[in-house]
Structure 1
């Protein structure tokens, strides 16, 4: 793996359209959606991407642009926790933030034909049978729930909110198991992390974890973010990014102020491995994924890729 395009498809031009607005009375705010797509190609698979806590549909350009230029239609929404929406601290929707995010994603899938027709030149070019959910941090949990991660709601217990329209997932720097491993802050403020059950996730998935991602949510240190891999069933892969902190070198945006470990090589690694995985899991091409598995064995300075 190098930091420039030596393998994979030649990047194609992309177009991005926003905001596409879906009426969503049950969430109290219209749902704003952005679609980034290649200008050419047909039977294009979809990546449904969920942003991290506080972000919005304009985030994560390094990943979104790379995936779209590699042949994928990338769909992003602005979720209720976005700083753009300024929800007050006592807003009654806050404890259910995790649930509204999943509903946002399902709403997008329900309205995919409408959204597709709203992007000039896109109609008829999407393959609705190949949809991968992806997300960073809080968004990684959202993607996980769509493929079978079960979150225990204090009121209703554990629920299965998976969606059969989603074939696989990519979870980047995502929360692990809850219970007594949570810090008091996480236990008190993020009730959706208290009890997460990864054992029902049968769909294929790639987990990306930074080995320096020491979040203030768990007492276990960086290994916590590998739980979505270690605690779920087979047909999963784990990319461990060496030296990677929570933003994995800067995946949330170029020169983004929240990035604590800015590193273009790290971002390029995540770009290349995730695109190779997307092409592999949607059946487009296996070569780049096999190449990544070969190259990223124990001694590679940027990262390690393992599968089960």
Structure 2
């Protein structure tokens, strides 16, 4: 038995090592980035909805552990430091990232009156751990567990309440949205009705949860893993906001930034909004997901994403007519001289 375990471990390490070697050595040709407009220095930002941080202080519970049907789940809770019950947003991190790599987005929402719960998924904690998870559970296993993590949080709100009454009394359980970035964006979309093919079969992965009333998807994938395909969003029932940028490319998988807008184009008509910002990459420089990148931060682009995502959430979760009117207008494109534009279909 010990010999078998050592052999299995050796094979496992070789597989992971080979994958890492492939990623580091066999690099495809880089993608030529298009010229991009910058934010006008004299732009009058006062007419952009939700641009400034809100007035509410943000409280953070750095680590909570929820015992679920699938094992323990670690998450961070963010809530406004004021009395009241606020809409709940479940946030799913990108592949190989972690629950604390998106504070610059999450804190903006919370300061305007939202509660956010953000878990670590199986693939959290860096490339090596992510590859280990993919190898152990398969792409489909990891993909399906991610939305289950968010569903487990909703099912476990009473257990979280027992851990923190301060958190519990600020959650309005009747108003729930899902959100995420990259792989996490598709996770959030799955709760809204998106699905994925299971390679070699006629079945599809589905984890729709009718408690989800809106979806915010930062840079969601186009075709991925032979699982996400052009049909993946045709049954989405929840309204969604999709965001991407003209530098949102990756040489191995997404050589055209427009692939990240596929879910906007393929989603059910009448439920989709899209934010596109000029010269914006997958990580807003180094402001989300991969904070260790040694590149220039794209602060203007993140500011636009925070404002538009807040407007979308306010319109969908709070019924704010001013937010709806802003999204339907050409205000953003006009003020930013085309640096940032919102579309709806």
Query: With structure 1 as the length reference, what TM-score do the two structures score?
Result: 0.86
Task: Give distance in 2, aligned partners of 1:201 and 1:258.
Answer: 34
Is 1:138 equivalent to 2:180 in the alignment?
Answer: no
| Residues 1:2 and 1:267: Cα distance change in structure 2 (over 3 Å) | farther
The structure with the largest alpha-carbon Rg is 2
Is 1:248 equivalent to 2:284 in the alignment?
Answer: yes
The 8 Å contact of residues 92 and 185 in structure 2, kept in 1 or not, is answered as yes
Task: Give distance in 2, aligned partners of 1:138 and 1:160.
Answer: 15
Gaps of 5+ in 2: 1-42
Q: 174, 199, 218: which is aligned to 2:220?
A: 174
After TM superposition, give the deviation of residue 132 of structure 1 in Å.
0.7
User: What SS does the aligned partner of 2:189 have?
Assistant: helix
Q: 129, 153, 164: which is aligned to 1:86?
A: 129
| 1:181 corresponds to | none
After TM superposition, give the deviation of residue 114 of structure 1 in Å.
2.0
Worse overlay, 56-65 or 81-90: 81-90
The aligned length equals 294
Is 1:307 equivalent to 2:307 in the alignment?
Answer: no
Worse overlay, 294-303 or 123-132: 294-303
| 2:85 corresponds to | 43
Query: With structure 2 as the length reference, what TM-score do the two structures score?
Result: 0.77
The 8 Å contact of residues 134 and 142 in structure 2, kept in 1 or not, is answered as no
Task: Give distance in 1, aligned partners of 2:254 and 2:298.
Answer: 26
| 1:52 corresponds to | 94
The 8 Å contact of residues 218 and 224 in structure 1, kept in 2 or not, is answered as no
| 1:222 corresponds to | 257
Q: How does 1:1-308 map onto structure 2 within 5 Å? A: 8=50, 10-24=54-68, 26=70, 30-83=72-125, 86=129, 88=132, 91-95=135-139, 96-154=141-199, 155=201, 157-176=203-222, 178=223, 190-193=225-228, 196-218=231-253, 221-233=256-268, 234-252=270-288, 256-258=291-293, 260=295, 262-292=297-327, 293-297=329-333, 300-308=337-345
Instruction: Say what the alpha-carbon RMSD is for the aligned residues.
Output: 2.7
| Residues 1:6 and 1:169: Cα distance change in structure 2 (over 3 Å) | closer
User: What SS does the aligned partner of 1:23 have?
Assistant: strand
The 8 Å contact of residues 91 and 178 in structure 2, kept in 1 or not, is answered as yes
The 8 Å contact of residues 197 and 204 in structure 2, kept in 1 or not, is answered as yes
More contact order relative to length (CA 8 Å, sep ≥ 6): 2
The 8 Å contact of residues 56 and 113 in structure 2, kept in 1 or not, is answered as yes
